[in-house]
Amino acid sequence: MALPTRSQRYWLRTLSMLGACSATTTSGTIYLFSTYGPALSQRLHLTSTQANVAAIAANYGQLLSGPFFGWAADTLGPQVLSGFAAIGSFTAFSALAYTYEGSLGMPSWLLLAGYMILVGLASQSANMAAVTTTTKNFKQNRGSAVSLCVAFFGLSPFVLSHVSTLFFAVGDEPDTFGYLKFLSYLGLGTSLMAALSLTVVGFGPSRRYRQDIPDGFIIDRASDTSSGLLSDSHSEMTNDEDQALLVQGQGTAPGYSAVPKPTREDADVSATVLVGTSEAVTNSPNTQVALDPRGALDGIDYDTARELGGLSYLRDPEAQLLALVLFLCAGIGVFYNNNIGTIVNALYFSSTDDPDPSAAQRLINHHVAVVSLGSFVGRLTIGAVTDLGKRFWGLPRSGILVVVVFCMVLSQIIAGAAENLTTLLVGSALTGLSYGFLFGVMPTLVSVWFGTKHFGSNWGMTTVFIGFSGQGLGAFFGYIYDSNMPDQDPSKCKGGACYRDAFVLSMGVGMLGLLAAIVLARRRGDRRRENRRLWEAQEIDHIEYVPFILAE
């Protein structure tokens, strides 16, 4: 089948990008529990611990289903996952709405947790469809593309919390039933839009080799039965060129990648070597060694990786460290998102002589919006920072990850020390920003370091345990709050003293994540230096990580 033209790929990618942003809008509804959770808890007479378990159940549903939906995204495609997200989201939020109204009776908090699990399943299904499709559609500026996609994951709660404030938190009591019904129809509509527009387009042939292939190009021998080295005659290498472009552009030959090695005398004249882990390189007069120590100004990225998946991915030490960082630090964000409503209520009711429930709900919505906006900005910007920093200044991606984790630790210090809503707002903004940084950069690291062939499964396995750290921190928060406030009266929690010990634990968890990120950064630095040494010495048989063109 003929490859789509460059113009066709452009429009298909654009349409798919819109579908991905629509899908992650559905995914972001998982972070809205604080906008309806307090009212639902009061109606069902839940304790703080029970509300926390119900809230974290959504995160369990989302994260524990990651490997399955990742596999489904790699094998079944995005349409099936988007269809499931539409049905699941509509069903879950409708059930929550009628439970609040009382039409379904007074169910136990365990049944409520079951509804929240379905919210999480729908969120993960839509998210995997969007992120996997985007990762497989972009090679150049992949970090920016993935960041734009996941940014809507963070923007969704910001917009929807404002919708709640403007249209459903008016009058003496907030219209929680109407808000939940609105969320059910929103999930149905956005997921159906994603099902119609998401398409895996692929990278396509490289533009720089569309017209001519320079001397020194070595093609995969499995694709060329006559000669490994293409001749100078354009007419004699037409079929091989098409096959080489297909291999290079579409990624159909795992373990192979095209790398230009420009000369210092003429940056426009470069040879291209296509190598595998067991392929010998033929020395060519045009094949030069790039000498820039940072590996960015010569147009080559030495931080790339193999195509790993399944057990080989799980056994990789760097994949394990990456999952550990995400497990520790993302759990902090989950814990904060699920408890910001309780924290705001405590600070508001304890500092106000005549508290107003609607005003308290608006304050909760405001903080949820700030966290969401910070998450959106973080997700949107970190991809461009990573791409530009790597390409123009040689900044290592693993070093950027260390800075991201440090920001998360700092956010917990500020939020834990907050004795008023103004200081807490700063903590909320930094927590959201750090959380966005983390989830904006992590998918890019997984795809660049471990390849795109098994990205969905790899990303699902990397995120699968986040719920446990979030559950642990959330349960500890609930235990501390319930122990200090047995009558559940937030007006007695002066300056946040009733929950402050929970932030001591979250800070400690963040410090462990920072340590893991530093260890990972040192390992990646050693890997880059060794990979560059082997590549420049042309000891191809020993290379595990094959460099690729930064501009591609």
pLDDT score at 280 = 33
pLDDT value of position 414 = 94
Query: 373 CB contacts (<8 Å, ≥6 apart)?
Result: 154, 155, 158, 429, 432
- At 89 the pLDDT is 93
Of 424, 458, 451, 228, whose CA–CA distance to 344 is shortest? 424
Q: How far is CA 330 from CA 404, 458, 497, in A?
A: 11, 17, 25
Whose CA is closest to 58, among 124, 107, 103?
Answer: 124
Rounded to an integer, what distance in angstroms lies between the CA atom of residue 201 and that of residue 16? 9
Phi, psi of 270 (to 5 degrees): -140, 150
Q: Is residue 404 within 8 Å of 342, Cβ to Cβ?
A: no
Alpha-carbon gap, residue 278 to 255, rounded angstroms: 9
All residues at 6 or more sequence positions from 520 whose CB lies less than 8 Å from its CB, including other chains:
318, 321, 322, 325, 398, 401
Rounded Cα–Cα distance for residues 76 and 327 (Å) = 27
Those residues whose C-beta lies under 8 Å from the C-beta of residue 94, and which sit 6 or more positions away, are: 180, 181, 184
pTM above 0.75, yes or no: no
- Per-residue model confidence (pLDDT) at position 275: 35
Rounded distance between C-alpha atoms, residue 153 and residue 151, angstroms: 5
- So what's the pLDDT on residue 136? 80
How confident is the prediction along the chain (552 residues), in pLDDT tens digits per residue? 455 676 777 778 788 888 888 888 778 888 788 788 888 888 888 887 788 788 878 878 887 888 899 889 888 888 899 999 999 999 999 999 998 888 777 677 788 889 999 999 999 999 888 888 888 887 666 777 787 887 777 777 778 877 888 888 777 777 888 999 999 999 899 889 888 888 777 655 444 333 333 333 332 222 233 332 222 333 333 333 334 333 333 333 333 333 333 333 333 333 333 333 333 333 333 333 333 334 443 445 555 556 777 888 888 888 999 999 999 998 898 889 888 888 998 898 888 878 788 788 888 888 888 887 888 889 888 888 887 877 777 788 888 999 999 999 999 999 998 888 889 999 999 999 999 899 888 988 888 888 777 888 888 888 887 768 887 888 888 888 888 887 777 778 888 888 888 999 999 999 999 999 999 999 888 877 776 776 666 555 544 444 443 332
CB-count exposure of residue 108 (10 Å: 0-12, 13-18, 19+): exposed
Dist CA 30 CA 125 (whole Å): 12
Give the CB-side neighbour count of residue 110, counting CA atoms within 13 A.
0
Select from 459, 465, 450 the least CA-distant residue to 513.
Answer: 465
